[in-house]
Amino acid sequence: MSGTSRFMAALDGVSGLGAGFLAAKGGFKARLQAVLGSAAGQRNAMAVLRFAKPRLQLKQNLIKCYEGEGSLLVTHAADFHAVIERQAEFHVVYGPRMRMLTGGRDFFLGMQDGPDYRRDTDAMRAIVKPDDLVPVLAMARAEAADALAGKEVDLPPALSARIPALMVQQYFGVEMETDQLIADATVMFHFLFSDLDADPKISAAAMAAKDRVNAAIDASAASARPGTLLARAVEAGRAGSTAFDADGIRANIIGILIGAIPTLSKASCLAVEELLRRPKVLADARAVAQAGDEAKVADHLWEALRFNPVNPILYRRAAKATNIGDTEVAENTMVLAANLSAMFDEAVVETPTRFIAGRPWGVYALWGEGLHLCWGDRINKAILPAMLTPLLAKPGLRQLSAPDSEGTPFPRHYRLAWS
């Protein structure tokens, strides 16, 4: 059954790729890059792979910023989940670059499971209180209303990056000028996760950014405002928590700060862009947004992000020779586990190419899963609808120009207007 539906999806994928190629501009290479650089092109290519070559071995390591030998792209949902779940065999690779940003200390996203990982994640869990998000969400709603008081908005600087940056200042407790904080968090994120060609310019910019941000964390820790994560970390450190000695505070706070700003901003832009592509869905989203129903707005956002997630793949390195199904995986292979493809796998997702708001949460793999499930999971689920409900409520919402990333993977400008 899934064989037939995969075959039909592959045919649609081929025709979508062809149409995208013909519509793109430039020579062969430019057209290919344009097609495979777009979420629609990636969905089509992955539909073809799910049918024709669900485990695609390549000679080159596609993630040049981390050591590895060859790549294996897996596109079936079952393989995606297996790679992430089998974390003792498929290791996270980010450690070396994480340590360059912290000045030596590991941050838990770069660690394998074990006592250090548990020490830091337990300590970070212990400084979060159940009601922490109440003021954060109130701030997000008030800031969004302010940013949208006129007739147009440039989403990242006015809202989608600004609000997470204010969260970092007010809730995490890191005092730093807002635009610099956004720029620094974004380039460090780029360096850690998206610098696939290991560009020396990105490394240099990330090193300058980490110096500024680590200095800001140290200065803020010295006079931490009560109630902030930083103040609680300092207090726990004074009480003897080794997760929160001076190096630990810096590593843990810089880690969550990097994770928070570019991701939430990019997710906002991608979700809005995807909704604007679908007038009927946008009208549904507007109706629930105008009713102030953030939960229903959220259903639209998650479905929009399924079509265009912030991270379409997660990557891991095989710690030893192993197998995925009947495919042999050599030690050190960089395994690319395609969550975008898993969310469209006909074998497990009903009518995957239809936009259906309110699918079961289990369909979504928007910010990781398993051991390294995003630390911001709860924050994402609450703050994205809080930030975007007032925008989606606007009648006649339209984009004045496509998201502009200025050559980086992160939208810097996205101009929208309404009637």
Positions that interact with ligand HEM (CB under 6 A): 92, 108-109, 121, 255-256, 259-260, 263-264, 267, 310-311, 314, 366-368, 372, 374-376, 379-380
Asked if 392 contacts 285 with a C-beta cutoff of 8 angstroms, the reply is yes
Mode of pairing for the β-strands spanning 334-337 and 71-74: parallel
Least distance to ligand HEM, CB of residue 387, Å: 11
Count of residues in the chain: 419
Strand partners, 154: 415
Nearer to ligand HEM, 241 or 252 (CB): 252
- Give the nearest distance from C-beta 54 to ligand HEM in angstroms: 21
C-beta separation of 322 from 89 below 8 A:
yes
Q: Which residues pair with 57 in a beta bridge?
A: 72
Q: Which is nearer to ligand HEM, 243 or 267 (CB)?
A: 267
To ligand HEM, the closest distance from the beta carbon of 326 in angstroms equals 25
CB of 90 to ligand HEM, least distance (A): 10
DSSP-derived 3-state class of residue 223: coil
CA distance 398 to 417: 6
Query: Which residue's CB atom is positioned nearest to ligand HEM?
Result: 376
Q: Shortest distance, CB of residue 195 to ligand HEM, whole angstroms?
A: 15
* CB nearer to ligand HEM: pick between 157 and 255: 255
DSSP state of 224: P
122/350 with CB nearer ligand HEM: 122
CB of 401 to ligand HEM, least distance (A): 23
SS3 category, 328: strand
Closer residue to ligand HEM (CB): 35 or 167? 167
Which residue number, 205 or 256, has a Cβ lying nearer to ligand HEM? 256
CB of 193 to ligand HEM, least distance (A): 8
Q: What DSSP line would sit under 341-404, residue for residue? A: HHTT-TTTSSSTTS--TT--GGG--SS--GGG--TTHHHHHHHHHHHHHHHHTSTT-EESS--B
State residue 91 phi and psi, 5-degree precision. -90, 150
Residue 6 or 91 with smaller CB distance to ligand HEM = 91
Place of tokens 């207007």: 417
